[in-house]
């Protein structure tokens, strides 16, 4: 597989200063009969790209979920025709966020992911970070940490007000990512425990009322050359037809505690593969079959997109163009300390049918982004970052040359000092409702939740917030 060809870096200064005043969103919410947010109880980092989808648009309604007070899952719905909101409602009770003696007050690994089955029932998966051995017993595919992975479903189709819990999945999962295929089968992907665990998937063929046994696809394994364990971070998405696509990076989980070079944030390299849900076979980008579950040695030899060298990374979202070629976002930057990774920038990479190309930087430092591939040449990035004044900004950047250059920088929303936590793009998104965002601030204070589209925030009656 060919190495990535380096492209010129984009001028970050031009990026930060290019948003025009005409794109600014009014900030005088207190003087208006509407507000820019739809909820006021976002908790911790209430959404993230990795737990997805957090929102789905179906038949003129956008459904949005997030981590609310005490790390419980909440859901709301917006009717685009009537411009009315319903909810938010608490959809379940997380096992996390309730222990006042816990040193780390907010775990943030149990944010909800959503799917709507073919009968219209809404499903949320949430609350897990490895499970607890004293409560849940042995984890056959990894280790433990905290919480309990749970599954709830709406009591009525397309109704966010009432929920029931289903006992369909093991308690050990975290980072839930869920996909519904054309035939209605539901695939639930997650890490089966804490860092030293396999990544697995389950399949449901009955609209989520039951799931099969977990099937490992990324293997955790002790290294012989160093004191640590191979681990992974994938992003899973819908491909074409019966295909699921996976971009992922490698994480070496060192032995010992953090200050003894134990749990550090270093993640390396970028990989890509596909899963044919009909044949149950996995392949690399060149259609070579991969043995499962995938080990680091095979991934390095058969599935690597790029070697990040001394840079630390965290893989981002992936999407296909109409010819089935993957486009991938990757966060990469230099380590600024042994324990935590340094600030990263978003890089853009794509397969042109013969080789991986790109690797150019498309963001300022500390950005987060998701991508929408509209055609062979047209791509949009929805990106948050902290501007030169320290304020949180969400913009859309557009490319007409398959990601080689991103020129247009349309500001969609601006907040005060700080940064945003952002969801992945909403599934089947309405133009007015593309992404869920919330300010990233320290402490346990509740935060406002925003639904942002190409025309800015979806507003709500101020009276609804009382």
Q: Is 271 tagged catalytic?
A: no
In the DSSP assignment, the letter for residue 53 is -
Strands (DSSP E) found in 241-284? 243-254, 267-276, 281-283
SS3 282: strand
Give yes or no for a contact between 154 and 89, defined as CB atoms under 8 angstroms apart: no
- Nearest CA among 194, 107, 215, 202 for reference residue 142: 194
Measured in residues, the chain has a length of: 466
Q: Sign of the C-alpha dihedral, residues 204, 208, 213, 219?
A: positive
Q: Phi/psi at 162 (nearest 5 deg)?
A: -135, 140
Q: Which helix (H) or strand (E) holds 296?
A: helix 296-302
Q: Which helix (H) or strand (E) holds 300?
A: helix 296-302
Catalytic residue chosen out of the listed positions 63, 66, 121, 175: 175
CA distance 155 to 321: 37
Q: Is 175 tagged catalytic?
A: yes
How far is residue 283 from each of residues 180, 272, 299, 368, measured CA to CA in Å?
20, 9, 11, 28
CA distance 255 to 227: 6
Catalytic residue chosen out of the listed positions 109, 129, 136, 151: 109
Give yes or no for a contact between 207 and 213, defined as CB atoms under 8 angstroms apart: no
- Nearest CA among 313, 386, 321 for reference residue 353: 321
Q: Phi/psi at 339 (nearest 5 deg)?
A: -95, -40
Active site residues: 109, 175
């Amino acid at each position: 597989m060919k190495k990535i060809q380096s492209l010129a870096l984009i001028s970050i200064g031009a990026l930060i200063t290019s948003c025009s005043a005409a794109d600014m969103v009014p900030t005088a919410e207190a003087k208006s009969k509407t507000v820019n947010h739809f909820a006021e109880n976002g908790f911790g980092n209430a959404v993230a790209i990795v737990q997805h989808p957090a929102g789905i648009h179906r038949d003129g309604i956008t459904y949005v979920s997030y981590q609310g007070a005490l790390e419980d899952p909440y859901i709301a719905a917006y009717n685009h025709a009537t411009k009315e909101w319903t909810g938010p409602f608490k959809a379940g009770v997380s096992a996390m966020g309730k222990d006042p003696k816990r040193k780390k007050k907010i775990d943030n690994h149990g944010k909800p992911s959503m799917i709507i089955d073919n009968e219209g029932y809404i499903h949320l998966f949430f609350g897990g970070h490895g499970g607890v051995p004293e409560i849940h017993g042995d984890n056959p595919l990894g280790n433990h940490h905290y919480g309990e992975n749970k599954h709830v479903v709406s009591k009525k189709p397309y109704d966010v007000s009432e929920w029931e819990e289903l006992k369909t999945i093991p308690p050990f999962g975290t980072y839930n990512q869920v996909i519904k295929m054309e035939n209605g089968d539901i695939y639930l992907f997650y890490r089966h425990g804490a860092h030293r665990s396999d990544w697995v998937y389950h399949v449901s063929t009955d609209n989520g009322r039951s799931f099969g046994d977990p099937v490992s696809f990324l293997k955790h394994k002790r290294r012989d050359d160093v004191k640590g364990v191979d681990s992974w971070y994938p992003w899973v998405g819908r491909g074409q037809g019966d295909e699921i696509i996976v971009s992922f990076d490698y994480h070496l989980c060192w032995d010992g505690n953090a200050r003894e070079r134990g749990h550090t944030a270093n993640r390396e390299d970028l990989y890509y593969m596909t899963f044919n849900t009909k044949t149950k076979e996995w392949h690399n980008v060149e259609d070579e079959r991969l043995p499962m579950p995938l080990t680091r040695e095979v991934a390095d030899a058969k599935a690597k997109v790029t070697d990040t060298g001394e840079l630390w990374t965290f893989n981002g979202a992936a999407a296909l163009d109409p010819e089935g070629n993957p486009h991938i976002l990757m966060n990469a930057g230099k380590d600024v300390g042994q324990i935590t990774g340094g600030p990263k920038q978003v890089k853009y990479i794509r397969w042109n049918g013969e080789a991986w190309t790109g690797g150019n930087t498309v963001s300022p430092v500390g950005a987060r982004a998701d991508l929408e591939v509209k055609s062979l040449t047209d791509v949009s990035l929805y990106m948050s970052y902290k501007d030169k004044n320290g304020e949180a900004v969400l913009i859309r950047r557009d490319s007409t040359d398959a990601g080689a250059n991103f020129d247009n920088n349309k500001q969609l929303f601006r907040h005060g000092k700080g940064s945003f936590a952002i969801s992945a793009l909403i599934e089947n998104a309405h133009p007015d409702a593309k992404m869920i965002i919330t300010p990233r601030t320290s402490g346990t204070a509740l935060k406002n939740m925003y639904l942002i589209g190409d025309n800015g925030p979806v507003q709500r009656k101020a009276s609804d917030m009382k």
